[in-house]
Chain A
Amino acid sequence: MADRLLFFLLISLAIAGIFVSRDALSKGSDVIIEVDGKPTYTLPLYTDRLLSVVGPHGDTLVEIQGGKVRVKEAHCRNQICVREGWVSRGVIVCLPNKLVIIVGGSNKYKKQGLDAITG
């Protein structure tokens, strides 16, 4: 009988899937943009978007594309945030503009899963 084979196949598939999805989960799915210490924008990481954030040194252009975030343009002197490039998890900081971009780490979407299923 192939019952055992099927069982082990399903179990190993499920366990592999759990690890893969955990990996995907830890990437985070939200982009939080803080201006002057206040969370101003919360955006989904997987929706492409170009956003202009107003700061003390003019507008900063934040680009979200394909699960990654970068600062495309900033009117500050050292351009550290622009040079950081594309970020898929972690933080981009622009001190002159008091701008903090946090990628991932939000529980908002994880909790949005299933509310109730009954067989």
Chain B
Amino acid sequence: MQLQDKHRVAILSAYALALHGFETLFPTPIPWLKPGFANIITLVALLLYGFRTALMVTLIRVVLASIFIGTFLGPAFILSTGGGLASVVAMGLSIKYFKNIFGTVGISLIGALFHNIAQLSLAYYFFIQRLEAVLIISPAILLIGSLTGIVNGIVSDILIKKLLKKETEKIQNVVHKTT
């Protein structure tokens, strides 16, 4: 890995970490409900710099955020890691095979969908073990996940277009606006 790539991973991880941490502080109607803004960074990394960068950014974000928040190796960490990995793999595969079919928003939706599927499966296997409870809660999670997936996709699309224009000064503005 070149030095430039390392810097890129570091900066992207920092952004993702900041968004992840900010979300935790942000009050939501249901405690475990989060908009997943950190996926914006994952998606941008995936589309601009490839799968490896995105995977590294996700792993660094998930591990460091859980250490900062205090959930490292706890249930939330397992769910977070599983969701993050599933989403980055699903998005990577869909970019590889369906790039002509789906745009940025579509890929974000796929990511959100697999994030939710992975989290629900993990929650079922490790913590709840009541299929009815999972089935009852999954449509609501799917709905909210799709809505936040759309928002994240649109933001990522804007971000990618701006980045491609290489207007480096504006990047920070966009990130500020979206937070």
List chain A positions with a Cβ less than 8 A from chain B. 1-3, 6-7, 10-11, 13-18, 20-21, 24-25, 29, 46, 109-110, 112-119
Tell yes or no: B137 within 8 A of A by CB.
Answer: yes
B153 → chain A, closest Cβ, in Å? 8
Number of interface residues of B (CB under 8 A): 44
Q: A15-B139, A18-B139 are in contact. Are A118 and B34 (CB under 8 A)?
A: yes
Q: A114-B128, A118-B76 are in contact. Are A1 and B106 (CB under 8 A)?
A: yes
Tell yes or no: B172 within 8 A of A by CB.
Answer: no
CB of A7 within 8 A of CB of B133, answer no
The residue on A at minimum CB distance from B122 is A117
Which of B45-53, B108-116, B163-171 is found at the contact surface with chain A? B108-116
Within 8 Å CB of A18, what residues of B? 139-140, 143
17 contacts between A and B (CB under 8 A): A2-B101, A3-B102, A3-B106, A6-B109, A11-B146, A11-B147, A18-B143, A110-B136, A113-B128, A116-B31, A116-B75, A118-B24, A118-B69, A118-B79, A118-B80, A119-B23, A119-B79
CB of B139 within 8 A of CB of A20, answer yes
Contacting residue for A11 out of B32, B71, B143, B153, CB 8 A = B143
Within 8 Å CB of A46, what residues of B? 132
Within 8 Å CB of B127, what residues of A? 114
Within 8 Å CB of B84, what residues of A? 119
Within 8 Å CB of B79, what residues of A? 117-119
Specify the main secondary structure of chain B where it touches its partner: helix
CB of B142 within 8 A of CB of A119, answer no
CB of B146 within 8 A of CB of A7, answer yes
Within 8 Å CB of B150, what residues of A? 7
CB of A117 within 8 A of CB of B32, answer yes
The residue on A at minimum CB distance from B132 is A29
Complex CA gap A13/B146 in Å reads 11
CB of A1 within 8 A of CB of B32, answer no
Within 8 Å CB of B23, what residues of A? 119
Complex CA gap A2/B103 in Å reads 8
CB of B101 within 8 A of CB of A1, answer yes
Q: Which of B7-62 contact A (CB under 8 A)?
A: 20, 23-24, 31-32, 34, 36, 38
CB of A2 within 8 A of CB of B76, answer no
The residue on B at minimum CB distance from A29 is B132
Within 8 Å CB of A15, what residues of B? 139, 143
Within 8 Å CB of B64, what residues of A? none
Contacting residue for B102 out of A2, A14, A109, A110, CB 8 A = A2
